[in-house]
Amino acid sequence: MDYTVIIGLEVHVQLQTRTKLFCGCSTRFNPDHPNTQTCPVCLGLPGALPVLNREAFHLGMKTGLAINCEIPSFTKWDRKQYYYPDLPKAYQISQYDLPMSQNGWLEIEIDPETRETKKVGIIRAHLEEDAGKNSHDESGRGHDSKVDLNRCGTPLVEIVSEPDLRSAQEARKYLEELKLLLTYIDVSDCNMQEGSLRCDANVNLHIHQENGETIPTPIVEIKNLNSFRGVEQAIEFEVKRQWEAWQETKLSLHDVPKETRGWDADRGITLEQRGKEEAADYRYFPDPDLAPVTVTDAEREKVSSELCERPALRRNRLESEYELSAYDAAVIIDQGLAFADYFEQVAKGCQNGKQAANWVTQDVLRELKEKGLEISSFTIKPEILAALLEKVERSEITTKSARTVFQELINSEESELNAASVQSIIEDKGLAMVSDTGALEAAVQAVVAKNEKAVADFQSGKQAAVGALIGQVMREVKGADPKVVRELLIEKMS
């Protein structure tokens, strides 16, 4: 007997607006100053009137279009009612039967070896407001819980996938691709520490019986997943737990209602939470305070035209246009939009994509990591790196010399750096490859004359003797091409 793992993800992403979804309070992450970013609207005071933030709707449309959703021409707002201390109105303004986007998909690579991809269906992506933040007494003495309503009313887009994911690894991959996409199209910073991207996972198993029948186990919604690793571990744990529970109880999805479990990252287990109220108990109804929104074809096209090239497409383009390995292309794309732009400027500037990729994924990336920098604040601008690599490309300096120049550039003040910096460092350090064969031949002649023993060794067949002589010539003539030096030496000694 075996089973298939069935996973669907609900992802909440905070949209990067300045103000909340229905009022002008700041959305800034500000846990040190609780309850300083509220007003009658987000506090749910009587008589307050919510008004939709145009930019939030715009970012919602961008998100929907980026995940290949239809944007219906009519959408509306509904009240989802439940009692919880972080929700002062006792209802959340959300979208129920007419979401602002639906029926999309996101493609993920599920096997890096074969490059096999999979389209994960997206049921819907709708806008809703966030709740506040509760903090609990950790001492176990049952002191009061504290409520901070700064986050209350912050715009979220909830993205609900089809149950198309078949393993914890696929779920993680989907999340990584989604996060990358949303940061590329600039709708969210997707900062998981600050809660800008949160995930719930619906997990169950399809048990394949020997008689060919398939029995679904009860669906469990895992909450409190706030890291990619957490998502992966929680699903793995849950699969194992459900398989064991099935063997023991033989309970199917039809025998028990959907269960909500919380992920305890410290203990590495999921724990049963309060029974979830049935969908009907939310008593959704259209919010009479908010007008519906209509969207025209022209508006859809306008937002569509604002979308940048999606990371998946750009990854493929980098591979073909610059002849990069899949690995290099993925490393570059994963660093974010600004980094990918940086790479392309360098590659175009120096006319060698492969070389540009080597430098940005190794030298540049190492430097950024060591100093904890973003590419936007990196002092070696792409045109400067391109100028340097162009010198290598034209055999004006060696790769080794280029690394010396790179270090010099890093140690320079940003204000002093410009396109001419590369050339002046090369000159100051005497790194230019010597094309003056006269000077080089003289140096070779002198070294050969000074080293009778090495010459004799070479002539008796010890090829290794050349190495020491190359070093001596290079010390004399900085920037000489070692290959040329070697040839000249062998010629002289033969």
Partner 1 sequence: MSTQLTQDEVLKVASLSRLKLSETEVTALGEQMGSVLKYIAMLDELDTTDIEPMAHAIEISNVFRDDQLQESLPREQALSNAPQTDGKYFLVPAIL
Q: What's the one-letter identity of residue 231?
A: V
- Per CB under 8 A, does 54 bind partner 1? yes
Binding segment (CB under 8 A) for partner 1, from list 107-115, 139-147, 379-387, 426-434: 139-147
CB of 20 to partner 1, least distance (A): 10
Which range binds partner 1 by CB under 8 A, 30-38, 237-245, 378-386, 430-438?
30-38
Task: Collapse the DSSP code of 4 into the 3-class scheme (helix H, G, I; strand E, B; otherwise coil) and give the result.
Answer: strand
Q: How far is the CB of 135 from partner 1 (least distance, A)?
A: 8
Name the segment binding partner 1 (CB under 8 A); options: 48-56, 102-110, 436-444, 476-484.
48-56
SS3 311: helix
Q: Does 277 bind partner 1 (CB under 8 A)?
A: yes
Each residue 307-326 as x (binds partner 1 by CB under 8 A) or -, in order, gives --------------------
Site for partner 1 contains 23 (CB under 8 A): yes
Closer CB to partner 1, 18 or 475, in the complex: 18
Query: CB count, 10 Å around CB of 390?
Result: 17
CA distance 225 to 203: 13
Length of the chain: 494
Q: Nearer Cβ to partner 1, position 81 or 226?
A: 81
Interhelix angle 326-334/337-350, nearest 10 degrees: 130
Q: Return the number of the residue (36 or 445) whose C-beta is nearest partner 1.
A: 36
- Residue 22 CB, shortest distance to partner 1, in Å, is 8
Measured distance CA(84)–CA(149) in Å, rounded: 12
Query: How many angstroms separate the Cα of 58 from the Cα of each of 68, 257, 293, 338?
Result: 15, 37, 11, 22
State which of residues 146, 354, 371, 450 lies at the interface with partner 1 (CB under 8 A): 146
Q: Which is nearer to partner 1, 26 or 260 (CB)?
A: 26
Q: Among the candidate windows 24-32, 316-324, 419-427, 448-456, which touches partner 1 by CB under 8 A?
A: 24-32
Q: With beta carbons less than 8 A apart as the criterion, state whether 161 and 9 touch.
A: yes
Nearer to partner 1, 142 or 212 (CB): 142
Decide if residue 85 touches partner 1 (CB under 8 A): yes
Taking the least distance from each CB to partner 1, the nearer of 87 and 235 is: 87
Alpha helices in 324-464 (DSSP H): 326-334, 337-350, 353-358, 365-371, 382-393, 399-411, 421-429, 437-450, 452-459
Establish if 101 lies at the interface with partner 1 (CB under 8 A).
Answer: no
| Measured CA angle at 467 (ends 461, 471), to 5 deg | 150
Distance between CA atoms of 246 and 266, rounded to whole angstroms?
A: 26
CB nearer partner 1, residue 255 or residue 277:
277
C-beta of 142 vs 438, nearer to partner 1: 142
Amino acid at 158: E
Angstrom distance (rounded) from CA 489 to CA 467:
10
Q: How far apart (Å, rounded) are the C-alpha atoms in residues 460 and 68?
A: 72
Residues that bind partner 1 (CB under 8 A): 17-19, 23-26, 33-40, 43, 45, 51-57, 74, 76, 81, 83-85, 98, 134-137, 142-149, 277, 281, 283, 286, 288, 290-294
